Structure 1
Amino acid sequence: MASSAINAGALVTLQELNPTSPYFKQGASLRVTGKLQEYSVETAIAVIIDGNATLKIDTQHLNLNLRNGSTYQFIGELLIQPDNEAILKARVGRNVDGMDLNLYHQSLKLLREFISDQTSTLTA
C-alpha cells in the first residue's frame, strides 16, 4: 500500500515569501500567519497581510468563519502561478486573534538561531 506523507508546514513569515526565497517553491508545505485583509466567498480566496507583505490563501477546503481584521494561521501547499504570484492551498486554518505578531516574529527568529546552533554543534 502506497504511503502519502504530508509534510509539516515550515514556519515562514509573509516577508520571506518572494521569488528569491528558499521557501518559494512549487508545492512547498508552509505555515503562514497574518491579518485577514479581504475574503471572497465566491472564489474562497482570502488575502492575509503582515507588515507590507500579502499572500493569497485558497480556503475552499476549510470550514472556517473568516472575519476581516482577524489574525489567522494557515498550513498548506504553495502554488506558484506562471506570473510568479503565489497562492497557498490551505488544508488547515485557525483564528489566532490573541497572538502578538511582533512576539511571534521574535520567537521564530530565536527558534531558527537555536536550530542553527544545534545543527552546527552536531556537525562539528
Structure 2
Amino acid sequence: MSMRLQSGRVLKLDEVVQQGSALDGKAVRTIGKLVQLNPVSSTAVLSGSDGSRLTVSTRLVEPFPYRLHSLIQLIGEMEVTGGGECVIVPRVARCVDGLDVRLHNEALGVWRQFLEKQQMQQQQQDENDELPSDIFDM
C-alpha cells in the first residue's frame, strides 16, 4: 500500500496564521524567520514580515540545526492542538537565508494570477463543452 503525500500549498506566513484551523490536516509550504527554538520540547516559532507568528513542531525534522534569525522554509502538515493552537509539523525544513522575500512574494502574486486566469479559461471551456450540439443546427 503506497501512501501519497500532499504537495504543500504555497502560503505566506500571515496567510497560514489567518486561515488557522481551516488548514487543519492540509499540507502547506511557507517561509519565516526563526525567532524561538526549544529543543527540549521540539518546538520553534517562525515570524513573518508583518509580525505574525507560527508555532512549529520540529519532531519530524530533528535535529533542527538552524540558527535564530535564519530564514526557514517549511513544507508540512498543519495541526490544531488540543488547546486550539495551529501548529505546522514540517516534513521538510531548509534554510533560505539570502532569499529576497519581497521578490518571492511578488513572484507568488504573479503565479497566483496566472493560475486564476487558467482556471477561468478552463471553466469557460467546460461551459462551452456543455452546450447542446443542436443549438448550432439551423
Q: Deviations over 1:53-82 (max 9, x none)?
A: 111111122144110011000111000124
Number of residue pairs the alignment of both structures matches: 122
The verdict on how the C-alpha distance between 1:65 and 1:18 changes in structure 2, with shifts beyond 3 A counting, is: closer
Q: Does the 8 Å CA contact 1:18/1:24 hold for their aligned counterparts?
A: no
- 1:76 & 1:92 partners in 2: Cα distance? 7
Q: Which residue is equivalent to 1:8?
A: 7
1 CA distance for matches of 2:91 and 2:118?
Answer: 31
Alignment-mate amino acid for residue 9 of structure 1: G
User: What RMSD in Å do the two structures reach over aligned CA positions?
Assistant: 1.7
SS of 1:60 mapped into structure 2: coil
Q: Which has the larger radius of gyration?
A: 2
70 and 6 in structure 1: CA distance in 2 versus 1, 3 angstrom threshold: same
Residue 97 of structure 1 deviates from its aligned partner by 0.1
Structure number with higher strand proportion: 1
Aligned 8 A contact 2:20 2:86 in 1: no
**Counting helix residues as a fraction of each chain, which structure ranks higher?**
2
Q: Which amino acid aligns with 2:74?
A: F
1:1-124 alignment runs, 5 A limit: 2-18=1-17, 21=19, 24-50=22-48, 51-62=50-61, 63-124=63-124
Q: Unpaired runs of 5+ in structure 2?
A: 125-138
Q: Which runs of 4+ in 1 moved over 3 A?
A: none
Report sequence identity in percent: 26
